[in-house]
Amino acid sequence: MASRPDCLFCKLVAEGEHVRADDGFVAVADINPKAPVHLLVLPERHVDTFRDVAEFPPEEAKRMLDFVAETAREVGLEDYQVVVNVGRGAGQTVFHLHWHILGGGRPFE
């Protein structure tokens, strides 16, 4: 899968510490957690933002959603938030599509 040498999250996919990894997707701990549990799901496929999600073949897009849900389940979360910031104006700072999983206690309990 094409990876961008200048992309922080392509680097994390290739050589980061993964909470979970499976067939094109990894989960990592957010370096600056905003909840007791704060994970990021990163697809190996580089797309800049969720706006470009149509670049995923349908089967891969489905597996990405499954991976998000399975990751939350595996770390013991039943109630949680899934957040995707789309574009700078919405708070996106890293331009490699990623899914935040936030949960585990206040304000989520």
What are the residues binding ligand AMP (CB under 6 A)?
8, 12, 28, 30-32, 40, 85, 91-94
As a whole number of angstroms, the distance between CA 80 and CA 44 comes to 23
* C-alpha to C-alpha distance for 41 and 13, rounded to whole angstroms: 10
Query: Which of the listed partners (Zn ion, ligand AMP, none) does 49 bind, with a CB threshold of 5 to 8 Å by partner kind?
Result: none
Binding residues (CB under 5 A) for Zn ion: these are 4, 7, 9-10, 46, 96
Active site residues: 98
- The CB-of-12 to ligand AMP minimum distance in angstroms stands at 6
Q: CA–CA separation, 70 vs 56, rounded Å?
A: 19
Please, what is the minimum distance in Å from the beta carbon of residue 33 to ligand AMP? 8
Binding-site partner at residue 51 among Zn ion, ligand AMP, none, CB < 5 to 8 Å by type: none
Structure tokens at 107: 């304000």
| 104 within 8 A of 30, measured Cβ to Cβ | no
